Structure 1
Amino acid sequence: MTTEAPVAPGRIVLLTASHRVSPGLLSWPAWQTLHAADQVLCADEGHPQLPYLREAGVGVEITAPTAQELVDACAGGRTVVVLPSGEGDQALTDGLARLAGSGRVQMPDLELLPGSYDLPGARLLDLVQVMDRIRLECPWSSQQTHKGLAKYGIEEAYELVEAIEDGDRDELREELGDVLLQVVFHARIAQEGREEDGAEPFSIDDVAATIVEKLIHRHPHVFGDERAETPEDVKAHWLRTKAIEKQRDSVTDGVPLGQPGLALAAKLAGRVRTAGLDVPLPAGEGIGYELLALATRAEAEGADPEAALRAAARAYRDAIRAVESQV
């Protein structure tokens, strides 16, 4: 009496790929598996990978198999690769799970094979795409201008600082996203070049390219041959480079006068100290001159007068609440 050899269950390979990576850029194991497969299936006839697979000689059948049909296709030790289609994938994987849990079906080996991975920063592409759509389809967002959004940039920056001072990591992550949204929103408006007649359009890629170029140029100790042993060396070189780039006539050029008063005073004092100038404080009476002296002293001692005042104000707020709770 002879016994028949068991039929090999075969293999199902679910091939995943990131939509944030250019189609056709697949890992070597993915290409090996695709070429060696007995069948390659895809339910989406518009799948972005299809032209590249066909160009590489990989035949793809456009079909949406059920879980049982997929298991049957693997009979005899065959390997079937399934490209994700987005819609219907959950139903297929749920069906495979039910078959495996029933215990009545000899299941093929099931493998999840990543064909590509997101690079760091890849989710920023999603943000750009979402912003594009909102700008086109949202009645409010489509009408916004740089000037109209300016106040939100200030508000979001203050909320970010508050999250940092509170030490709230979840809030910090959210507020960083809100600040990032302002950057992407303004860049999207500038891309249209319609706010000012004759304005030269620029995109978020231009914004990123500009800051990348600036960072490389101002960090020759990282990207070049110069040396910087201390943070002070780095700051001194940064300021020298900025002075050459901007060709400013005064150390006060570029200091925004619209910032909070303590921060403005400290910024001016820092510029004076870094430049090695001996500039006496203006003589005058009143609280403004007293605050100016305090701000310059704080800057000289390495303290941020704005942050120090906010910390004191928060303590004052807590004291107020403590008294209120006793009333």
Structure 2
Amino acid sequence: MTDEAPATSGRIVLLTVSHRVAPGLLSWPAWQTLHAADRVLCADGGHPLLPYLREAGITVEAGTPAPTAQELVDACAGGRTVVVIPSTGVDGGGAGDGTGDGALTDGLARLAGSGRVQMPDLELLPGSYDLPGARLLDLVHVMDRIRRECPWSSVQTHKGLAKYGIEEAYELVEAIEDGDGDELREELGDVLLQVVFHARIAQDGLEEGEEGGEGGEPFSIDDVAATIVEKLIHRHPHVFGDETAETPEDVKAHWLRTKAVEKQRDSVTDGIPLGQPGLALASKLAGRVRTAGLDVPLPSGDGVGYDLLAMAVQAEKAGVDPETALRAAARTYRDAIRTAEAGGVATE
């Protein structure tokens, strides 16, 4: 008497793809699996991968309701291989990671855990991979849709959003000073949103064929990225060119020298935003004077303002950021106030 080999129960392949990569650029194992599969299923009839699969001669059952876990297991009977292409997920508010709806995978997990069903082999096959920074494309995509469809976002302007940029910058600084990593990540995202939002507003001029608009010539987020990339490469010749820099001071000297040539400013004070907090403004002016080697006596006068100016210049000379120092002292003061309140001590 010989043992009979158990009937094979087939194979289910969940093919994950990234919407951030050109849809025809699949890995070689993905193409091999797709060509060899008995069935290829895709519930999303508008999936960007479909035209490329059809061009490659692969028959895809698309636009039909997604199979249940049990239906998928039954489809693998007799050793058949079924490839499932999930939705990319980003348009529906999902993670946009190419794994699509989790209902199918949850159902398969329940069937496997029941012990009553002979399960086919399950395989998660990456069809394409994201490069670092690819999730930024999701942000651009989501911002585009919000700008089109949200009644509030669709009417915002650069000037109207300016106050939020200031608020988010301060919240970012607070997260840095608190040393809270989770808060820092969130606040960095909020600041990044401001950049993408403003770029999207500027892009409206490009789409409408305008020659100019609010804030000058229209541009897109790609123009913003291209501008800063070009600037970074140009100002880091020790990284992207033939110059050398052994110390942070060398790097700063490179940066200032290159910036001076680019800007062709008439005064060392050009480019310093006067709307920044007073201590930061005083420190920035003092730094420009010191770097330029100028001998500029402090203006004399009565009042707290001149005293604060002198202290800010002294702090900058000592390598201390007066704004940061004052905030640290103010935080200590706040803690003392709370301690007094908790103890019932009256404060004036």
TM over 0.5: yes
Q: Could you tell which deviates more after superposition, 76-85 or 206-215?
A: 76-85
1:31 maps to 31
Letter of the structure 2 residue corresponding to residue 49 of structure 1: L
1:171 maps to 183
1:244 maps to 261
Cα-to-partner distance string for 1:33-87 (whole Å, 9 max, x where unaligned): 1122232222222221111112222222335433333323323333221111469
1:77 maps to 79
User: Tell me, what secondary structure is at the counterpart of 1:148?
Assistant: helix
Q: Hey, what's the Cα distance between the residues in 2 that align with 1:95 and 1:150?
A: 48
2:96 maps to none
> Which residue among 263, 274, 282 is the counterpart of 2:299?
282
Alpha carbons of 1:91 and 1:162: their partners in 2 closer, same or farther (altered >3 Å)? closer
Q: Hey, what's the Cα distance between the residues in 1 that align with 2:148 and 2:246?
A: 49
**Residue 184 of structure 1, CA deviation:** 1.1
1:114 maps to 126
Alpha carbons of 1:68 and 1:204: their partners in 2 closer, same or farther (altered >3 Å)? same
1:217 maps to 234
Question: Does structure 1 conserve the Cα–Cα contact (< 8 Å) formed by 2:202 and 2:214?
Answer: no
Q: Cα RMSD between the aligned structures?
A: 2.2
**1:206 has 2:240 as partner:** no
2:97 maps to none
Q: Hey, what's the Cα distance between the residues in 1 that align with 2:239 and 2:190?
A: 30
**Residue 163 of structure 1, CA deviation:** 1.2
1:102 maps to 114
Alpha carbons of 1:71 and 1:225: their partners in 2 closer, same or farther (altered >3 Å)? same
**1:65 has 2:67 as partner:** yes
Letter of the structure 2 residue corresponding to residue 43 of structure 1: A
**Residue 298 of structure 1, CA deviation:** 0.8
1:149-164 equivalence runs, <5 A: 149-164=161-176
Unmatched runs of 5 consecutive residues or more in structure 1? none
Q: Hey, what's the Cα distance between the residues in 1 that align with 2:122 and 2:39?
A: 15
Letter of the structure 2 residue corresponding to residue 185 of structure 1: F
User: Size of the alignment, in residue pairs?
Assistant: 327
User: Tell me, what secondary structure is at the counterpart of 1:80?
Assistant: strand
Alpha carbons of 1:174 and 1:102: their partners in 2 closer, same or farther (altered >3 Å)? closer
User: Tell me, what secondary structure is at the counterpart of 2:74?
Assistant: helix
Letter of the structure 1 residue corresponding to residue 141 of structure 2: Q
**1:47 has 2:61 as partner:** no
2:316 maps to 299
Q: Hey, what's the Cα distance between the residues in 2 that align with 1:321 and 1:83?
A: 57
**Residue 299 of structure 1, CA deviation:** 0.8
**1:271 has 2:283 as partner:** no
Q: Hey, what's the Cα distance between the residues in 2 that align with 1:292 and 1:226?
A: 38
Q: Hey, what's the Cα distance between the residues in 2 that align with 1:132 and 1:318?
A: 43
Letter of the structure 2 residue corresponding to residue 55 of structure 1: E
Unmatched runs of 5 consecutive residues or more in structure 2? 93-99
Q: Hey, what's the Cα distance between the residues in 1 that align with 2:222 and 2:110?
A: 47
Alpha carbons of 1:293 and 1:84: their partners in 2 closer, same or farther (altered >3 Å)? same
1:141 maps to 153
Identity, in percent, stands at: 86
Q: Hey, what's the Cα distance between the residues in 1 that align with 2:312 and 2:215?
A: 43
Q: Hey, what's the Cα distance between the residues in 1 that align with 2:286 and 2:335?
A: 32
Alpha carbons of 1:232 and 1:197: their partners in 2 closer, same or farther (altered >3 Å)? closer
Q: Hey, what's the Cα distance between the residues in 1 that align with 2:133 and 2:27?
A: 19
> Which residue among 180, 184, 192 is the counterpart of 2:204?
192
Alpha carbons of 1:189 and 1:300: their partners in 2 closer, same or farther (altered >3 Å)? same
TM-score (normalised: structure 1):
0.92
Q: Could you tell which deviates more after superposition, 30-39 or 194-203?
A: 194-203
Question: Does structure 1 conserve the Cα–Cα contact (< 8 Å) formed by 2:158 and 2:214?
Answer: no
Q: Hey, what's the Cα distance between the residues in 2 that align with 1:317 and 1:201?
A: 45
User: Tell me, what secondary structure is at the counterpart of 2:82?
Assistant: strand
Alpha carbons of 1:36 and 1:68: their partners in 2 closer, same or farther (altered >3 Å)? same
> Which residue among 172, 195, 198 is the counterpart of 1:183?
195
Letter of the structure 1 residue corresponding to residue 48 of structure 2: P
Q: Hey, what's the Cα distance between the residues in 2 that align with 1:81 and 1:276?
A: 70
Q: Hey, what's the Cα distance between the residues in 2 that align with 1:14 and 1:224?
A: 46
Cα-to-partner distance string for 1:175-200 (whole Å, 9 max, x where unaligned): 11111111111111111137837942
Q: Could you tell which deviates more after superposition, 7-16 or 304-313?
A: 7-16
Q: Hey, what's the Cα distance between the residues in 2 that align with 1:169 and 1:30?
A: 38
Q: Hey, what's the Cα distance between the residues in 2 that align with 1:41 and 1:77?
A: 17
Q: Hey, what's the Cα distance between the residues in 2 that align with 1:89 and 1:197?
A: 41
